[in-house]
Amino acid sequence: MIERPTAKDIAQATPISMKNPYILNFCKALVEKKGEKHTPESLKKLLDDMYRLFENLLGQNMVKALPEDKRKEYMKLCEDLNKLSYEKIAEIFDKHVPNYREIMKETMKQFTYLFMKNRKFDAKQMEKDIKETANY
């Protein structure tokens, strides 16, 4: 059985600027499914915007999945980013969010709904929609 990598493992293995290919392929599939036509430049910008918004939504959903005491601890750490490290993030999320696959699946459904809902993709509108879905 393959073990799930920790946040620390991922941080050490890949540069921060590298995009997750599964998320990127998910975004590309949504654009294809929607049938919009784009120039290579506009497609790159669209995929960058979608990727950023997806990561934002996933992060919100992961934070919501934390037990209340750990959520408060994490939010307190975020107030001073000098105290936030990959080790601390791993300690909080890896131990306290065991259903990460379900969260990813639900986030993909949520993102798909929001993306398809917008007649023409508008990053600002979708960002607003994402904020409206956050219940914290």
Quote the CA–CA distance of 44 and 34 in Å, as a whole number.
16
**Amino acid 5: pLDDT:** 52
Q: What is the mean pLDDT of each run of 10 residues along the chain (136 residues)?
A: 52 60 94 88 92 94 94 90 84 90 95 84 76 66
**Amino acid 36: pLDDT:** 81
Backbone angles phi, psi at 34, to 5 degrees: -75, -25
Backbone angles phi, psi at 135, to 5 degrees: -110, 45
**Amino acid 83: pLDDT:** 78
Question: Residue 94: is it exposed, middle or buried by C-beta count within 10 angstroms (0-12/13-18/19+)?
Answer: middle
**Amino acid 14: pLDDT:** 45
What is the reported pTM?
0.72
DSSP 8-state assignment for residue 17: T
